[in-house]
Amino acid sequence: MNIRLSPEQKEIVEATEGAHLVLASAGSGKTRVLTERVKRLLGSQQRRYRVLALTFTNRAADEMKERLKDLPDLGERSFVGTIHAFCQMVLEAHYSALAEGERMPTIFERDEDRMALLEKALHMIPSVRRELGAKSDKERRAILMNLLAAISAAKRGFAAGLPGVSDRLCAEYADTIRENFEAELHAQQGIDFDDLLVLTHRLFTEQAHILEHYAGIYRYLCVDEAQDLNAIQYELIRLLGQPNGNVLLVGCKSQAIYGFNGASIEYMEKAFCQDFSPVTRHELLKNYRSARSVIQAANPLAASPSDRMRPDEAAYEGECTVIACEDEGQEAKWIVDKIGELLKGPPREDIEGPLTLGKMAVLARTRYAMQALEAVVQEAEIPYELRQQQNGLAFDSDFMRVFDLGLCLLVNPRSQLHLNQLRKLIGKEDPVSHVSANKGIDLLESLRGSATREWSERLSFCLPEWRKVAVEGTKLLPVLNRIEEYAKQANTWDEHERARVLADVGIMRDCWTRYTHNTASEYRSLSGFRANLSLGVVRPSGSSDVLTLATVHSVKGLEFDVVFLIGMVEGVFPDYRAQTGTRQMKEEQNEAFVAMTRARRLLYVTYPKSRVMPWGDRKAQQVSRFVTATKIYPVSAGGGHVMRVAE
């Protein structure tokens, strides 16, 4: 099928050689441009190179793959995915070059797992252990989360110590804490997300032949959401891209919202232009997504003139309304009532097909700002999905949790963390402090005698299946089929338990199918599959027919016909910690821009005139400066719903 491109889009698609920077405003068709460029690069069957297309989210990668599905052997001729997923693939193939005789470590994706390891690391320092012991659970968790964030920031920015640590004593022992934490990870043959990039960077800089191998294979790089690159991500792109010089970066300054992760537009605007000079600059300004009223509301928040969209070229007028509510309870009720009104209303010419819950989203700056609404949505029995930024895959049934932990131990027998989690599930509360088995299957064999009677019977089924996977890690599908039959015939299980197990088996089967479809055959392995699960690469999408509740960060790259943007008061959006004129305030403004431009047709911005503060007091609120910037007069929640633009 031939895709119609604008002259500006066509120019970018056809400019395959050299370095290019595309400044693309919201809704300007950058995904179409990237997809068509990959198609053009892979159009000749005679070409022996691959294309590397790096996206910011797994969802964006899935969307590109869906649009490219008609290309033969897509997985063999390209890599489309996040930079973390690409690094995981590289390490899976070459980790032994960094640590002779070692297999690829396990990714500890869960915050709870990393905090457990960090707490062990802190307990090795007597004065820190004493101070932590005097804290409440809430205070201790806050310190651990702050330390994990500091460790992550240091890795992303090639920094020493623990930048940004708030606890005085932890700051004093920063180097020791990092060393202890890394030692705990190493002892359990584990890594965290940032290590994927750190280790790949080390691999490329220490093993020149491996970098040459990948630069030779991937002669063309396409990078999406370049405004949110951090130091180590950019450095990896530079290493891979400079040998050939064929690099395309696409970004938008007004959508730079990941400064807290060390991201900076300087890598896109300055470093790239210096390292890949000469760089050809392109602009995409026409918004193909949003209605005229949405564009008019969002444009005043654009970070630069190049990001302002052209409202006169929009195909539909749409609607943008600001609603002033007495409190957060009335705000939530108004939104629920409006959702019902839209669902029952007549079809709209500006929305394709019937308007369903799946086409609507409620966005907030923070999870806390969503609490009142979530309670009212539950009371109204509206099906919804609380979209969160998370990786990994959580199973509902204990049986599949145990089976999956068994897979983890087959991949990494040194993971004391996963072993203790499995032991607890099968009835062994006492944790082990040392793992001695060289093979995961030996560990699993030793568990049956210590399990409860119920779990001993279940392990009798699981052990032969684990053995099969241990021998042939790429033959997981027949094992899952046998688990499904076992669950169907398990007469002692109640119906709810059986349903949960069957649903979990279906999810893992779907994940395995996605993994084999998206991964070149030479890279497939059980450890690769587990790593993909940890990264969320093969996680199934949520339900498409429910209302989405989400923070702004978690909907980057998504769009909806109807968007409700709630809690728009000073101190919430923008956050109370952002000061006027600072980088943080600019990023808050960018978040508001991103939130508004998620709307295709209808945008409802709401705020409470008063709200209950976290400490319990009710306090009067001031409307957000970002709402004021739209120049739309607020309408009372009890009034009409017509946009009123200030003169």
Distance CA 522, CA 169 (A): 48
DSSP state of 227: G
What confidence tens digit (pLDDT) does each residue in 96-107 have?
Answer: 898 766 778 888
Distance, C-alpha 6 to centroid of its chain: 31
- C-beta atoms surrounding 438 within 10 Å: 9
Q: What are the residue boundaries of the structural domains of the chain, listed by start?
A: 7-94+197-284, 110-191, 292-390+543-636, 398-535
What is the C-alpha to C-alpha distance for residues 31 and 29, in angstroms, rounded to an integer? 5
Instruction: Give pTM, 2 decimals.
Output: 0.81
Give the dihedral sign, CA 548/553/559/562.
positive
Q: Kindly list the distances between the CA atom of residue 317 and the CA atoms of 138, 351, 473, 598, in Å, as whole numbers in the listed order.
A: 49, 12, 55, 16
pLDDT at res. 106: 87
Please say whether the beta carbons of 438 and 415 come within 8 A.
Answer: no
Angle at 302 between CA 298 and CA 307, to 5 degrees: 105
Residue 440: name the closest of 415, 404, 421 by CA: 415
Q: What CATH architecture does domain 398-535 belong to?
A: Orthogonal Bundle (1.10)
Same topology for domains 7-94+197-284 and 292-390+543-636, yes or no? Answer: yes
What is the mean pLDDT of each successive set of 10 residues along the chain, which is 647 residues long?
80 92 87 90 73 88 85 82 92 85 81 88 90 86 88 87 77 88 89 93 95 94 92 96 95 83 89 95 86 91 82 85 92 94 89 90 88 90 76 78 91 87 82 66 82 86 92 87 91 81 88 81 81 74 77 85 94 85 87 92 93 79 91 65 38
- Cα 95 to the center of its chain, rounded Å: 25
Coarse DSSP helix, strand, coil percentages of the chain, rounded to the nearest 5 percent: 50, 15, 35
Q: Rounded to whole angstroms, how far apart are CA atoms 37 and 231?
A: 26
616 contact partners, CB below 8 Å, separation of at least 6: none
pLDDT tens digits, 209-252: 999 999 999 999 999 999 999 999 999 999 999 999 999 999 98
Long-range CB contact pairs, 455-464, < 8 A, 24+: 455/402, 455/425, 455/426, 455/427, 458/399, 458/402, 459/426, 461/486, 462/402, 462/403, 462/406
Residue 21, strand partner residues: 249, 281
Can you give the pLDDT at residue 644? Answer: 42
Place of tokens 């809690």: 567
Q: Which stretches within 522-564 are classed as H helix? A: 526-535
Class of domain 292-390+543-636: alpha beta
For residue 313, the one-letter residue type is E
The highest-level CATH class for domain 7-94+197-284 is: alpha beta
Per-residue pLDDT at 640: 38
